Structures are given as C-alpha cells and as structure tokens.
Amino acid sequence: MKEAQQVQVEVGGFKNPQIEKGKALTIEVNGRRYALTHKSKWALLRANYTYKINAERKSYPKMNIDQFFMMKFKGMDDVRCDLQHIIQGDRIHAVATTKHSLTKPQHIYGMLSKVLKKQNLEFEERSYLQGRVVFLRKLQFAEVGIQVDGGDILTDRAIRIEGFARITSCFNPISFCGLHDLFAQHKPVKQRILRFEKKEKITQRFNKVLEDVKPELEKVVERLEKSQKQSVNLTQAEALLVGIGKPYGLGFKTIKKALTRFEFEEKQTIYGLAQAVSWQAENEEIFKKKDKVRQSLASTAGAIILIHNVKEVHKRAKKWVDESAEAKKVLFNLRNPKKEKVKAIARTRKR
C-alpha cells in the first residue's frame, strides 16, 4: 500500500522544471530534484494560475501535460511559496497549501472517537471495510449507521462519511461507501471533507453529520425493507450483477459465485441478490483480510439495495454491458458455462 512507504513534506516554492530526453518531468524543491505525478502537475498549475488554467489547457490540444507545464513555468521566478509538497520516494505525489492540515487517518479516527464517546457510541473496525463503522439504530433484521473512511495522508481520498448496514442474522455488510453514479438513485449520508484548515473543523462537521443522519438512515431502513418485496429473476440478476459489479472491480469468478448463491440459496428478490453478493465479503476466505475486493462486494450490495425500479435498472445495466466488451464477455460466460468449460479444457490440453 502507498502509505506503507515513508511520506515527507517539503514546504516552499519550486524552480528549474526540466524534461530530460526520454525521462519524466522534474522540478527542484529545497535543493533536491523530484518527479511529479499527473495529479501534482495539475495541483501546481492550479495553485499558481487558479482553475482558469483548465480552460487555457484546452487551447493547446497538441501539447501533452508536461509540455504545457514547461510552457507555463519555464523561467518563471515568482511561483507560490506557501505550498506543501507531499513526497514519497523521489516523487511529489500531491500538493497542498500551508493553511491546510495534513493528518493521518489514524489521527482522524482518534478525534472522531472522542466525539462518539460523548454520545455513548464507539467505532467498530471490520477487516473487510475501508475505515470504521458506528451503528446508530438497531432493527429486527439489521443494524444501520455510518461508515467513516479517514482518507489518506497522500490526499488520494477525501474523508468520507457514508451510510452502512449490517444484516443481524449473518453479519453481511451493506456499504454505501464510494458508490458510482451509474445506477444508484440515492446515496445515503453522503459527506466529504477534502481539505481542512483546522482539525477542529473535522469534529464540527462530524457532529453535524450525527445530527443530520437520522432522516438519511430512515431512507436506508426503507430501502432494506422494500428490497425484500422486490422480485428479480435470474436473467435480470445476471445483467445486474455484471452491470453493477464490474464497475466496482468484481471479476467473473466472484460474480459467478454470487449468482450461484442467489439462484440456489437466497430468495429471488433485490434483498436476496444483495445478500448473495455481501455474503462473500463476510465469509469468503480466499480474499485477504484487507483486500479491497471485500469493500467492493459490500459497495456492490449497497448499490443493488438502492434499486427502486428493477425493470428500468435492468434495462440500463444491460445497455451498459452491451457497450463494454469486457462486461459483455463476462455475461456471455455466465450464460454459457459449458462453452466456458470447453475453453478451459482446450487451454489445459495446449499446455
């Protein structure tokens, strides 16, 4: 993981941008030369030229980002000096102004835990999820609450606060963290904290989320209950699993296991389909404890639970699958298991 490597921060401006033949663009910060990620190139452009630089960049379609960067900064002596260059190895990974605080996720969870203790609540850590969860309401069949992802020191992820549910009978997770816009019609408890100047602002925002969360959680409860009454057939389930699961990074074997469980062990409802997916996040042993596939499974289950109109979403999912060669192949193999088996035998014989 990225955060396993040491991260350092250099404060100040930069100078002498260079592109050596056959090598990456580099700049000099406090006497040492560093390469730049695509993200940090844009961060420096926007920090010095504001977001108007986005429109100007479009005026130079034949230039790549390195050439554009050189055009804007070569020979420039008055670059901003109030910047924090977030460095990993010999590469500047991200850039933030000095007024913004850089805080590790562990510190974020520590601060928010103090807020929860005042309300007699506490975080739980689940090995298959990003961040921490806290349960705010118990139902007969599930517990609902929020999932907090503390972001990362490299600023790749903002601090995210989103809805979460856990099925009481089996502990299967239903996560609404990081949902795509592809099919979801409602995103419960959606909050982001991207940059902050003082750490107190995080606790203030978190306190407000806890105050505002009850109406949102009611929507989660409503969807969990309604999903148990929404029928879905096997053909619809195939397209939904591929159309929703593929964008979350689920592969053929994982989708096939979910479909098999749905067909033989779950009720033919949206709730049953979500359970077939989330069961793997809780019980599948082939994934590593911190494998991101577990979070992807929980988020896929969350996206499925949010389906209001099965026929409409099935239609949209099928259209998306038809336009994606990779997804189309997965759906074909699901519907033609014998042919897939013949291919596997053929590959074995060739070896």
Q: Under a CB-based contact definition with an 8 Å cutoff, are residues 161 and 146 in contact? A: yes
pLDDT in tens, the chain (351 residues): 445 568 888 999 999 999 987 788 999 999 999 999 999 999 999 999 999 999 999 999 999 999 999 999 988 878 899 999 999 889 999 898 887 777 778 888 888 899 888 888 888 776 556 788 888 877 777 788 888 888 777 766 677 787 778 776 666 777 766 665 555 455 555 666 655 656 777 788 888 878 777 777 777 888 888 899 999 999 999 999 998 888 888 888 889 999 999 999 999 999 999 999 988 877 766 555 546 777 888 888 888 888 888 998 888 888 888 888 888 888 888 888 765 444 443 444 444
| Contacts by 255-261, CB closer than 8 A, 24 or more apart | 255/330, 255/334, 256/333, 256/334, 257/284, 259/234, 259/334
Return the closest-CA partner of residue 161 out of 122, 123, 209, 104: 209
Q: Under a CB-based contact definition with an 8 Å cutoff, are residues 252 and 333 in contact? A: yes
* Residues in CB range of 275: below 8 A, 6 or more apart: 167, 170, 172, 266, 301
pLDDT of residue 338: 61
Structure tokens at 230: 């929404």
Structure tokens at 101: 């605080």
Q: Under a CB-based contact definition with an 8 Å cutoff, are residues 297 and 283 in contact? A: no
Return the closest-CA partner of residue 238 out of 225, 228, 227, 252: 252
**Residue reference for tokens 């929404």:** 230
**Cα(156)–Cα(39) distance, rounded to whole angstroms?**
9
Question: Which ranges of the chain would DSSP assign to H, the alpha helix?
Answer: 38-49, 53-57, 65-73, 105-117, 199-227, 234-245, 252-265, 270-283, 292-305, 310-323, 325-335, 337-350
| Bridge partner residues of 34 (DSSP) | 27
Q: How far apart are the first and last CA of the chain?
A: 35
| Bridge partner residues of 84 (DSSP) | 11, 96
**Cα(339)–Cα(346) distance, rounded to whole angstroms?**
11
Q: Would you list the domain boundaries of the chain?
A: 2-97, 101-351
Full-model pTM: 0.65
Residue type, 31: G
**Cα(244)–Cα(279) distance, rounded to whole angstroms?**
16
Strands 32-36, 91-97: pairing kind:
parallel
Q: What is the DSSP secondary structure assignment for residue 32, as one 8-state letter? A: E
Q: What is the DSSP secondary structure assignment for residue 320, as one 8-state letter? A: H
3-class DSSP assignment, residue 234: helix
Residue type, 204: Q
Instruction: List C-alpha distances in Å: 336 to 100, 254, 305, 333.
Output: 54, 16, 27, 5
